[in-house]
Homo-oligomer: A and B are copies of this chain.
Amino acid sequence: MGKGRLEAFSDGVIAIIITIMVLELKTPGGFTLQALGALAPTSFMYAFSFIYVGIYWNNHHHLMHAVRRINGAVLWANLHLLFWLSLVPFTTRWMGENLDHTWPVVAYGVSLLMPSIAFGILVQVLIHANGRDSALARAIGGDLKGYASTLIYVAGIALTFWRCWAGIACYVLVALIWLVPDRRIERNAPLPTPEA
């Protein structure tokens, strides 16, 4: 029950984050295809951030599914994750207007890096609350993908100071890593069926 409300609140916040970004899409300044085309960079950024926040929702869903026990520290670690995610619409907007400038791309990278660190902290706090022998701890295992993402984000932010496209390539790489379904966790802790 406590867990249910944590999930419901997180669902609400993530649903709002993922949806309000469309409010940033300004109406084209005209009624031609060219006017619409001028929005391509912002639209690309919107789709990109939608996928990112979607990845976090999916991972949050898989993670919480294996959780048995939560406490006050979990509530705060979860709010910490939501805080960093809530900055994504802001950095999305800034980078969408400045795709070829260093600092906006760096800021976007940081707004992807921080939730990845916060997710790692949430995992640790949950393992602490559920015990090292819990189904959760076993299901997470080494969390290779999590550590890899954090490292690639750091590399992407560093590379942006050299070339913007190099940083963006790193960010895209992380998205690709996660878009491949995490079969390992799903196999260990399959989503429940109503019959079960």
B-contacting residues of A (Cβ < 8 Å)? 1-3, 5-9, 11-20, 22-23, 25, 27-28, 31-33, 35-36, 47, 50, 54, 57-58, 61, 65, 68-73, 75-76, 79, 82-83, 86-87, 89-90, 93-94, 97-98, 101-104, 107, 179, 181-183, 186, 190-195
Contacts and interface: CB of A to CB of B under 8 A. Distances in A.
A71 B107 contact: no
9 closest A-B pairs by beta carbon, nearest first, are: A12-B15, A72-B181, A31-B101, A2-B191, A31-B98, A16-B19, A54-B79, A13-B15, A9-B11
A86 B190 CA distance: 29
A22 B87 CA distance: 7
B36 A107 contact: yes
Q: Main SS of the interface on chain A?
A: helix
Contacts of A3: 191, 194
15 contacts: A2-B191, A5-B11, A5-B61, A7-B8, A9-B14, A9-B57, A11-B12, A13-B19, A18-B86, A19-B20, A20-B23, A31-B103, A58-B75, A58-B79, A71-B181
